[in-house]
């Protein structure tokens, strides 16, 4: 090509418009411009998703912190849930790089822990409400039941609540409510049974009043007729028993005399003590026999069945006799 032809080619080329179709220019971080249209960069999109997840989990942790604060203000112990929140923060620190790098989809362990803490906090409030309700119910029913079993369950529920064993605290409070219902049911049944029994008794008396009066009259007549005979029988039985006891003592006196005078097996001091004690007992029994015999003589049955009193000598030998 000669010099003149080269100059003409350059002039024509410079007169043509610039070719921008298919050319890209960088208009911002991670954003490429193609003929005026913006297309997100894959790297920038993943980072935005991660940031959204991170913000959401941090908000959940912050909300849980506020909830625990309100729980403490309500008078509930918070050691258990505070420890759980610390564990949730630990899970967050472990999962952060995994979620950021895409090795893990989300902060699953953190959310599981937060869900568990929500459940525990709900149980705490429920247990407290159950205890308050039980105290009120017990106060209303205290006069109609034995409160001791319910008071024991109430005390157990309060101990469990204070120890942050909210599950068992709620169970104890519910058991207290069941116990009140049970005791009230027993009291109602007992009252109904007593009322029914009373009604049956009055009904029986009303229906059989003449029969009862007749039987009572007969018993009264027999009692009036035979009361002295009964007294006589009891007096004779007592005299016979005393007589048997006195004879036994007399046998002991004779045995002591035989051991001392014949066998010489007991010393003089022991012999005298035995004889003194036995004689005193015999005299006391003889006095009782005399009193019973006199009572027997006074209990003669007068009227249709009058009889002579037995001779006291036929019942017993009143004298002590020589020992």
List the pLDDT tens digit at each of the 323 positions of the chain. 444 444 444 444 455 455 444 433 333 333 333 344 344 455 578 888 999 999 999 999 999 999 999 999 999 999 999 999 999 999 999 999 999 998 998 999 999 999 999 999 999 999 999 999 999 999 998 888 889 999 999 999 999 999 999 999 999 999 999 999 898 888 666 666 666 677 677 777 778 877 888 888 878 777 777 777 777 788 888 899 999 999 999 999 998 899 899 888 888 888 889 898 989 999 999 999 988 888 777 765 444 444 454 555 554 444 444 44
All residues at 6 or more sequence positions from 138 whose CB lies less than 8 Å from its CB, including other chains: 147, 150, 151, 154, 176, 180
CA distances in angstroms from 18 to 9, 21, 24, listed in the order given: 16, 9, 14
Structure tokens at 207: 């229906």
The answer to whether the beta carbons of residues 111 and 58 sit under 8 Å apart is no
pLDDT of residue 167: 94
The candidate with the shortest Cα–Cα distance to 256, out of 265, 248, 246, is: 265
Structure tokens at 32: 């490429």
Alpha carbons 161 and 131: distance in angstroms, whole number: 9
Buried-state track 200-222, b at ≥16 Cβ within 10 A, e below 16: eeeeeeeeeeeeeeeeeeeeeee
The answer to whether the beta carbons of residues 32 and 26 sit under 8 Å apart is yes
CB neighbours (10 Å) of residue 284? 13
Query: Per 3-state DSSP, what percentage of the chain is helix, strand, and coil (rounded to 5)?
Result: 75, 5, 20
The answer to whether the beta carbons of residues 173 and 131 sit under 8 Å apart is yes
Alpha carbons 254 and 260: distance in angstroms, whole number: 10
The candidate with the shortest Cα–Cα distance to 310, out of 323, 322, 294, 321, is: 294
Structure tokens at 19: 């070719």
């Amino acid at each position: 090509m000669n010099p003149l032809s080269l100059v003409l080619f350059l002039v024509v080329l410079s007169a043509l418009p610039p070719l921008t179709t298919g050319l890209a220019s960088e208009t911002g971080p991670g954003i490429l411009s193609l003929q005026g249209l913006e297309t997100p960069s894959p790297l920038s999109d993943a980072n935005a998703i991660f940031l959204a997840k991170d913000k959401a989990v941090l908000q959940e942790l912050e909300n849980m912190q506020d909830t625990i604060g309100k729980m403490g203000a309500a008078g509930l112990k918070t050691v258990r849930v505070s420890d759980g929140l610390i564990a949730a923060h630990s899970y967050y620190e472990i999962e952060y790089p995994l979620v950021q790098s895409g090795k893990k989809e989300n902060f699953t362990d953190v959310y599981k822990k937060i869900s568990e803490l929500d459940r525990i906090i709900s149980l705490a409030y429920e247990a407290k409400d159950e205890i308050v309700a039980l105290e009120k119910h017990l106060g209303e029913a205290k006069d109609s039941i034995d409160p001791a079993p319910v008071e024991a369950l109430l005390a157990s529920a309060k101990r469990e609540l204070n120890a942050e064993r909210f599950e068992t605290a709620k169970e104890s409070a519910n058991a207290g409510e069941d116990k009140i219902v049970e005791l009230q049911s027993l009291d109602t049944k007992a009252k109904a049974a007593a009322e029914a029994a009373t009604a049956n008794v009055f009904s029986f008396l009303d229906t059989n009043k003449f029969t009862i009066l007749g039987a009572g009259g007969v018993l009264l007549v027999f009692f009036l007729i035979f009361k002295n005979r009964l007294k006589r029988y009891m007096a004779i039985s007592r005299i016979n028993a005393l007589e048997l006891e006195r004879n036994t003592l007399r046998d002991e006196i004779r045995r002591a005399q035989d051991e001392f005078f014949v066998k010489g097996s007991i010393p003089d001091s022991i012999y005298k003590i035995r004889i003194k004690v036995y004689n005193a007992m015999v005299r006391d029994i003889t006095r009782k026999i005399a009193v019973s015999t006199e009572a027997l003589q006074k209990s003669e049955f007068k009227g249709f069945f009058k009889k002579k009193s037995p001779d006291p000598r036929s019942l017993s030998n009143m004298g002590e006799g020589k020992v």
